[in-house]
Structure 1
Amino acid sequence: MASTGALPQTLKSITATKINELGKQRTLFDKAKAEIRKDAEAATDLHTRAQILLNGVSSLKGYPKNALDKDDMDLDMESSDDDSESEMPNLDMGQLRNGDHSNIRRFLLQGRYDSSISEKTLQRWIDQLENELRYLELKHDHASFYSKLVTEWLAQLDAQNVSDINKDGGSESGKSETGFERVGRAEMHDQRSQWESLVFSTGNHVEAKDIRSYLDGLFHKDKLTKQAFKELRESMQKFGNDLATEGEWLDAKELEWVSNALMKTDLLSAEKTSVLKEFMRNKEVTQEVADVLNMRLSSLESWSWSEDGIPIEMRRQLNGKYRVFMDEDLLDSLMLQYLGTKWAVKLREVFTSFLRSRAWTPIHEKIPEEYIERRNYFYGKVSRPESRNINDLRKTTYNEEYFMSQLPESIDEGARNYDDSSQVKSALNTKHSLLHRLITESLIQKNLRGEFTAIRSDYKWFGPSLPHTTVITVLEYFGVSRKWLNFFKVFLEAPLRFVQDGPAAQVQIRKRGIPMSHTLSDCFGESVLFCMDYAVNQGTNGNILYRLHDDFWFWGTGKDCEQAWESMTKFANLMGLEFNEEKTGTVQMGEAQKSQILPAGEIRWGFLVLDAEQGKFIIDQNQVDQHVEELDRQLSSCKSIFEWVQAWNGYFGRFFANNFAKPALCFGRDHIDMAISTLSRIEFNIHDLPEGFFYYPVELGGLELLNPFVNLLSMRENIKQTPHRRLQKAILANELRYYEAREKFEKEGSNSQTTLRASIDQPLSFPSLEEHNQYPETFSPAFHSAYCDLIKVPEEKSVANTSDLRKNMIGLKSPTGRASKGTIGPAWSSMTPYWRWVAELYHDEMVHTYGSLAAVNREFMPLGVVKTLKEGRFRWQG
């Protein structure tokens, strides 16, 4: 299930050596331990037994020599600073400060002469030292146990890699030696059949002339639009010409960013990723690769795919869907990544310039000039900075987070990961933010207009079904030259063969669709869908279509949504696309009139379904149950503990929590409680071993299982009011602002240069509260503030740092002597709220079981191989 490719032999050798050395140290430890116990049991009095145990444990722990109980003749043989804590080589400072024996040694010396040191006290020291001896033995046991887990993982991966190399299909019931179903499940075959029916046929006939006529209607309707489009087209033409005539395309430095961008995609196999990394380590090899790529780029007009066919394979995603990935030649991948990134950055640039032009209708309210004049007169000059009104916030958010979100802004940014939640502006975070905005908008718009309507849809098999005629026609319309269009056509019409079909696999030419995980494919998809963005903008007089790739959402009044849906439907029909009925739906709230135009169906995302009556997302428990069964299947297929941990973390630790969406104030505490309640019935019970072992980081000898309850509960505490209460506070604040403005006007009058009068003799009276409350999305800072609060993800609340944990944290160091970043370490301030919670929750049990927070000394653990294996891409069973 986890694929890492060929693990570097050096790392394997180091791991084997470390495990072998651990065995030797264990033998020496067992021998020393036996001698200590034998001598202690033979002692004739408690004082002697305590002294023997003290010397033995101190020696095993590597404590420095101590002269407190030495005779004078021995002092000359010892260094004068042997008892200095500042120079203690190989010393675990945490053990020293928590279990330093210098005091016991002092007291034992005192006991030679002082009868106040009772036998009861001596027995207490003996018990303490025997416990420490037991903890040392347990740490060696755990080190051996951990090494066996790593060895098991390596052996499983080796067997799996051999199986991957030798696999040649077979019957559906056939399994490999490792127990995996290599030929796929029934749903894989169903989805493959559907994919092939799309990709290897031209589908519904698409007319280039109809597409051009449609685009003429969009981009040539008035002078402002014509000018903006003319600039877009000219910029594209110049870029294409300049790129095609570059002298030296790539040097070794540029190849570095290309390689990094390529490795961010899910395109390369693990083996090719390893090869690419080896290329980049050797500067001479890097230059050779750059030279070869320059030769290919210089002869793009004659470039073509291998006639033998590009291997393709189906990979199962956590949501149960299969995606088809190409496995082309590594040099071709690098060349296509270079060109794809160059085009992607340029396309985002020109589309963004068009967005900022007068051709694009901004979101706004139709406010009469008379109203603005009156407001300026009574309230002072009205300014509308971006940070103070909802409409400008909507515009800024759309421009920065949603528009062309699939394309990188710069070369340095490279290819974007589709579902990488570790990125600050990841697609997953943007999706969650979209759900927060949807609920926030529903609260505000129902309050202001009494109604709210939302539609959501995506295109059915967008990637595999996108007609090549549509792609080429749109790019040509945008000014891409014939030379580049020919190259793009060759790229699209790739010869493909399924690796699952073995050596005799049929080679077929792609006739429709764009390849998965290629940046050039993102360029093609976004170019086509940009036309839909603009069509909806124009069809709804400036309202926003929130789109993430081909997943799109629109909301507003029922009329607004009808206009948007008509624009999208017209676009889809002309471009040869079909809506995905499973993901298409409408929700109407408040006083919205039921529409006969808008699509039927529910609005769903992840495990959530939008409930119109409650006005919030609820979890579909039936869908959760299906994935619980799949989780059990995945865990049952694991052949090693660490593989099980990877499956658990990926599925339970991240997938379930992500598909409940991140909490936000607009969701309220109810949403977190619903998620926690659902997770509680999924979790598998764990017995016998201390729970800290499962959840503590690998550096401390743990398995690093993720616990999603921690994040949810730590955020729950920071949701201190309901969404409706927050909105009510905005309404009251808006009203208070009215009375303050009226009072000020009555005292000071207007600072306007003009005087407004109802008649010659009658001054104009101050506006009513009803007039004041008009157009709050433009004029109300209180509503803007409420909007910002409602969409906010609550910070994780940190647990309190107890004295017991602080005492046990001292001395936790990484192998390099620095504290581990982020996880459990000696500095509370450097730990994330998650790790603070985990450290506090389980530390009592860890210390009780292992004598410290660490179950094993780090130098005894193969941390290097564990971290390398964890970085390998995980392949789901089936």
Structure 2
Amino acid sequence: MLKEAVELRIDELGRAKDAFIRHYQSNATSAANDNTIVRAKKLLEEITTLNPELDNDDDLDIMARYINQASTNHVISESKVLKFEQQLRGKLSKHQNRLEVSTLHCQLLREALNTGYTDISAFDKPESVDLEDDFEVVEQELDEVLERFEKETFAARDTNTEEVKAYLSDLLDDGGDLSKFEELRDELQTFETELQTDGLEMDQDFLMWCILDILKNGIISEERKKTLEGYLQSPIALRELVSVLNIKPVRNFAYKDTEKGLPVTALQNADGHYSIVVEEGVIDSLFLRALGMRWAMKLKSCLNQFKRYSSAFMSPNLSEGEIDKRSYFLDRDPGEIPTVNAPCSIWPPNFPPVPMPPPPMDMGMGMPPPPPPPPPAAMVVPSKKRYKSMKNQLCYPPPPPPSHCGSIAYRRHANYTQQYFMSRLPTEIGSTPNVKPAEEVQAGLIKTLAVERRIRKGLDGQAHAGSAHFKSLASLLPHQTILTVLEFLGFSQSSLDLFGSFLSAKLNIGPAVRGAPDRVLPRARGVPDGHALELVFTEAVMFFLELALSKKTTSVLYRLKDSCYFVGNDEEYKLYQYEVRTFAKIMGLEVEMEETQSIGLLSLDTGIETDKVVTYAHRIKKQLQGCNSVLEWVGLWNNTIGTYAAHLFGPLANVFGKAHQEEVKETYNVIYDIIFNGGSLTAHVESLLATSGLTNPPVSIDALVYLPQAYGGLGVKNPFITLGLAQHLPDDPNADLITYLEDEDLYYKRAAENYALFDANVYARKLNYIFNNDKARMDAAVGPGRDLNIFMTKEELVANREKTTYPNLLTPPGYPYVFTSTKLPSLYDVYRDMLSEPKDEMPESEKITDEVTRLEDKGDMESWRSLSAEDKWVLQLYGDECFEKFGGLEIWIGEHVPQEVLKLVRGVAWEDDDGSSDTTEP
């Protein structure tokens, strides 16, 4: 049906183009004997009548007036009318060029539909590349995969549930955290009750999201893929599916034909490697996907709420003794402490109370009215059905603002919360889940780890960093561990029974091997990787490892699914290793500890890993060679090589510097040489277009290839554009940190000089003002028997530089206090600048920006501010050529092209719908 509809659109475009060419060519021949004014008039009338889309051009109105006047007066010469005629024919030529480009897109779309387009979203699921195509190798691999699957899935691993419960309880021994965890349990139980009572209560948008999520992130059979795509193309089928799924009971869910076992099949991915897939029925699969996403969104909401108020997750603060010590040695002379009329008798102010401001001058207009109160916060209720669920959610007052928000400890924990904490779990936006793209999380983590390592090495002399990888986390996770953790979180027995039946479902291993008899066995361990419930189970378990590390250290544990990364001092690093091993042992997991940190194609210890790059390039080359159409090739290229892979090489940030940028450029040169055999990207795409019938394009091949698709180009991406836009990267990434340490030395020297200027009376006033003559408090802060005439040591000064900021140094003695020129060392600024990714601000062409503004919101064309830096670069590079050949930046007639289908074939539609993906491995 879809293909037939597209063919109708394409045929209609072909007829319109042929009619356009035939009409104007024949008229040009017949009008050859007419005089110039008559020809111009006829041409103008035909354009207005036959091509009203060209009549919107303001120039036509102006030319029409002059041409009409040319026959009645002698002001306008015939040569000028001839120029008008040439301009009119130029407009027709530009319109014809746009029709040609539109035809090209339709031809490429027809080619893709006839050859069968491939889902390009799962290109980098495999973690290795095997360049052998020998049949025996593939068969041997299938045997190995099946053997590993049976060994992992049907062999139970018992865990001590009492030991798991005791471990989890010990993490919440703090009274405040325990009370907040009880609130988390209550909220989960309320949601659970409503879910079991009311069902899924999904709408059509939510179901579409679930279908797209399965298509994007799962390896499924071609038959299942076509079925799901058919649902997406039929609104009636979607509505019926929604009705079926909403009446399906949550409490009593059971697989269809349970006794026969769920078929286990072996499917090949894009590289030809086998993956074992448990095939659920369509209804069961969609129901469990929706159920898992509902639970995943709720779990993230509750865990975020708990983290917000948990003392274990809070960034470290200064103790009372540390605050007192810093105040004594670094604060100014308190002077005479007022004894009367103090607004606060417990903590007197440093200065006398500020007098009230004078009343405003009488301007003869009266006092202005007071400002209106702020409007009440609006509660957004996505749907009436879910109002009851939202009504029962707990509302908490916001936590007090931190007093150390300028410290890197605060920035570190805020960054962890916003970017990495439970990043795999979706949040609810409107009525659909929203998952942060795994590539984006991974790219940010590479940069964050690099900054943490530089900070540690610069401050401590050595960075204690490592990684821990849980082997086959989803496949090897014991069922007893899952159910015990869920019970600890407050899940009721009915939910535990439901999840238990899902985990121990019977599987039929026979269909995985051709001709083998049925073998039905219950699943004894693990959960299918990529399943929605796997997301809930693994994240629920791994949350407690993050809680343990946050409680025991001042650093944070960064995690990408089953891989954990840690950077800290020597003591914290030993605690990290101990906690990870303890967690793995108690939970029944296998973990590999490494002293290095490698993510994507980058080792943070040694740099880009060339061997991995070569393997990766050969793998992508093999996939590109397997593409059946130009559009499939372009989509795969853009998703792999064309878009700069920050999740594989790291972002182009200050922390890596200019040397890393040059290393990445050399790496991409190697990749290009492997894929194109020494040729170029442009030449290769040109050869692909030639095989598709394009021999004489109306514009240079460069503009056609690289112009964004929204403007009519192929939208081919080039990573060298991104690399070229990264300007002003530092030659030495450690320069700011070195400057900071120098500023810190100067600060200590000046602070010691200031302190030496104080006399005994000032010391006495400080003791009285800060400690209130409380000797026990003073001994706790500065130590018993300490000579307070001697300034604090450098080690004491810098001990808490990550927890707080340095105060301004004031020139003693007494009022008024004048700020000195001593530069304040700011570790926060160093941390922030290392994370930043500078980009070159290109000069903007007014002609190009005006045209973009004119076209914005037409089709998929965006405003200038919304365009990426790469698209701006391309539009300005080829803009003049587009104006010359097409009259503007839009080089096609988008209305004649089936754009929705075109985006679907290119894989763009799915990306726009949701950027989530787990494709983070090279």
Length-normalised TM-score, structure 1:
0.75
Correspondence 1:833 to 2:844:
no
Matches within 5 A, 1:241-390: 243=192, 248-250=197-199, 252=201, 257=206, 260-261=209-210, 263-265=212-214, 266-267=217-218, 269-274=224-229, 277=232, 285=240, 288-290=243-245, 292-294=247-249, 297-300=250-253, 305=258, 307-310=260-263, 312=265, 314=267, 316=269, 324-348=276-300, 351=303, 355=307, 360=312, 364=316, 369=321, 372-376=324-328, 378-379=330-331, 385-390=403-408
Q: Which amino acid aligns with 1:552?
A: C
Q: Which amino acid aligns with 2:149?
A: E
For residues 364 and 507 of structure 1, what CA distance do their matches in structure 2 show? 56
Q: Report the CA distance shift for 1:720/1:409 in structure 2 as closer, same or farther (over 3 A).
A: same
Could you give the per-residue CA deviations for residues 584-630 of structure 1, whole angstroms, max 9, x where no partner exists? 5314xxxxxxxxxxxxxxx2111111236xxxxx2223322222222
For residues 234 and 761 of structure 1, what CA distance do their matches in structure 2 show? 47
1:699 and 1:863 in contact (8 A); partners too: no
SS of aligned partner of 1:828: coil
What residue is the counterpart of 1:860 in the other structure?
896
Could you give the per-residue CA deviations for residues 830-878 of structure 1, whole angstroms, max 9, x where no partner exists? 53333221111122333444454333222332223213433466999xx
Q: Which amino acid aligns with 1:773?
A: V
What residue is the counterpart of 1:777 in the other structure?
802
Correspondence 1:17 to 2:17:
no
2:566 and 2:576 in contact (8 A); partners too: yes
Q: Report the CA distance shift for 1:41/1:797 in structure 2 as closer, same or farther (over 3 A).
A: same
1:498 Cα deviation from its structure 2 partner: 8.0
For residues 892 and 797 of structure 2, what CA distance do their matches in structure 1 show? 68
724, 732, 736: which one aligns with 1:726: 736
1:336 Cα deviation from its structure 2 partner: 2.1
1:438 Cα deviation from its structure 2 partner: 1.5
577, 580, 583: which one aligns with 1:568: 580
Q: Report the CA distance shift for 1:523/1:284 in structure 2 as closer, same or farther (over 3 A).
A: closer
Q: Report the CA distance shift for 1:394/1:713 in structure 2 as closer, same or farther (over 3 A).
A: same
2:479 and 2:503 in contact (8 A); partners too: yes
What residue is the counterpart of 1:607 in the other structure?
601
Q: Which stretch of structure 1 is more off in the superposition, 302-311 or 144-153?
A: 302-311
531, 540, 545: which one aligns with 1:527: 540
For residues 23 and 845 of structure 1, what CA distance do their matches in structure 2 show? 25
Matches within 5 A, 1:710-725: 710-714=721-725, 716-717=726-727, 719=729, 722-725=732-735
Q: Report the CA distance shift for 1:133/1:481 in structure 2 as closer, same or farther (over 3 A).
A: closer
What residue is the counterpart of 1:151 in the other structure?
110
Correspondence 1:219 to 2:169:
yes
1:279 Cα deviation from its structure 2 partner: 7.8
Matches within 5 A, 1:412-431: 415=433, 417=435, 423=436, 426-431=437-442
Correspondence 1:135 to 2:94:
yes
SS of aligned partner of 2:565: strand
1:92 and 1:811 in contact (8 A); partners too: no
Q: Report the CA distance shift for 1:197/1:372 in structure 2 as closer, same or farther (over 3 A).
A: farther
Higher relative contact order (CA 8 A, sep 6+): 2
What residue is the counterpart of 1:78 in the other structure?
none
Q: Report the CA distance shift for 1:799/1:272 in structure 2 as closer, same or farther (over 3 A).
A: farther
1:373 Cα deviation from its structure 2 partner: 2.8
Q: Report the CA distance shift for 1:662/1:185 in structure 2 as closer, same or farther (over 3 A).
A: farther
Could you give the per-residue CA deviations for residues 169-194 of structure 1, whole angstroms, max 9, x where no partner exists? xxx9999xxxxx99995796376336
Correspondence 1:491 to 2:502:
yes
Could you give the per-residue CA deviations for residues 770-802 of structure 1, whole angstroms, max 9, x where no partner exists? 643332112336444234423534264443232
SS of aligned partner of 1:573: helix
1:468 and 1:511 in contact (8 A); partners too: yes
What residue is the counterpart of 1:6 in the other structure?
none
Could you give the per-residue CA deviations for residues 530-587 of structure 1, whole angstroms, max 9, x where no partner exists? 343344445x54442222221100112234323322332233234332235xxx5314
1:262 Cα deviation from its structure 2 partner: 5.8
Correspondence 1:647 to 2:636:
yes
1:454 Cα deviation from its structure 2 partner: 0.6
Q: Identify unmatched segments of 5+ residues in structure 2.
A: 120-129, 333-346, 351-400, 673-679, 687-699, 807-824, 912-916
Q: Which amino acid aligns with 2:62?
A: S
SS of aligned partner of 2:405: helix
For residues 805 and 567 of structure 2, what CA distance do their matches in structure 1 show? 21
1:644 Cα deviation from its structure 2 partner: 1.3
Aligned-residue identity in percent: 20
701, 720, 724: which one aligns with 1:709: 720
1:460 and 1:579 in contact (8 A); partners too: yes
799, 802, 805: which one aligns with 2:842: 799
Could you give the per-residue CA deviations for residues 290-328 of structure 1, whole angstroms, max 9, x where no partner exists? 55313xx2424898746252455546378x986544442
1:456 Cα deviation from its structure 2 partner: 1.2
1:452 Cα deviation from its structure 2 partner: 0.9
1:455 Cα deviation from its structure 2 partner: 0.4
What residue is the counterpart of 1:812 in the other structure?
855
Length-normalised TM-score, structure 2:
0.72
1:459 Cα deviation from its structure 2 partner: 1.5
Q: Which amino acid aligns with 2:575?
A: Q
Q: Which amino acid aligns with 2:12?
A: E
1:545 and 1:553 in contact (8 A); partners too: yes
Q: Report the CA distance shift for 1:496/1:606 in structure 2 as closer, same or farther (over 3 A).
A: farther
SS of aligned partner of 1:682: helix
1:607 and 1:623 in contact (8 A); partners too: yes
What residue is the counterpart of 1:165 in the other structure?
none
Could you give the per-residue CA deviations for residues 13-43 of structure 1, whole angstroms, max 9, x where no partner exists? 4432322222322332232222233235445
2:853 and 2:864 in contact (8 A); partners too: no
Matches within 5 A, 1:323-722: 324-348=276-300, 351=303, 355=307, 360=312, 364=316, 369=321, 372-376=324-328, 378-379=330-331, 385-408=403-426, 415=433, 417=435, 423=436, 426-494=437-505, 495-496=507-508, 501=513, 506-509=518-521, 510-537=523-550, 540-580=552-592, 585-587=594-596, 603-611=597-605, 618-654=607-643, 656-683=645-672, 684-687=680-683, 689-714=700-725, 716-717=726-727, 719=729, 722=732
Q: Which stretch of structure 1 is more off in the superposition, 447-456 or 192-201?
A: 192-201
Give the total of aligned pairs: 773
For residues 342 and 397 of structure 1, what CA distance do their matches in structure 2 show? 26
Could you give the per-residue CA deviations for residues 799-824 of structure 1, whole angstroms, max 9, x where no partner exists? 323245357657536xxxx434554x
1:432 Cα deviation from its structure 2 partner: 2.0
For residues 254 and 61 of structure 2, what CA distance do their matches in structure 1 show? 78
Correspondence 1:202 to 2:144:
no
2:476 and 2:525 in contact (8 A); partners too: yes
Q: Which amino acid aligns with 1:621?
A: T
1:286 Cα deviation from its structure 2 partner: 6.0
Q: Report the CA distance shift for 1:221/1:643 in structure 2 as closer, same or farther (over 3 A).
A: closer
RMSD over equivalenced CA pairs, Å? 4.6
Q: Report the CA distance shift for 1:280/1:797 in structure 2 as closer, same or farther (over 3 A).
A: farther
2:644 and 2:722 in contact (8 A); partners too: no
For residues 747 and 273 of structure 2, what CA distance do their matches in structure 1 show? 53
For residues 700 and 183 of structure 1, what CA distance do their matches in structure 2 show? 48
Correspondence 1:753 to 2:766:
no
1:258 and 1:337 in contact (8 A); partners too: no
For residues 345 and 862 of structure 1, what CA distance do their matches in structure 2 show? 35
SS of aligned partner of 2:832: helix
For residues 15 and 772 of structure 1, what CA distance do their matches in structure 2 show? 72
SS of aligned partner of 1:777: coil
For residues 116 and 410 of structure 1, what CA distance do their matches in structure 2 show? 67
Q: Report the CA distance shift for 1:30/1:283 in structure 2 as closer, same or farther (over 3 A).
A: closer
Q: Identify unmatched segments of 5+ residues in structure 1.
A: 1-8, 66-87, 162-171, 176-180, 418-422, 588-602, 613-617
Q: Report the CA distance shift for 1:542/1:216 in structure 2 as closer, same or farther (over 3 A).
A: farther
Q: Which stretch of structure 1 is more off in the superposition, 334-343 or 702-711?
A: 334-343
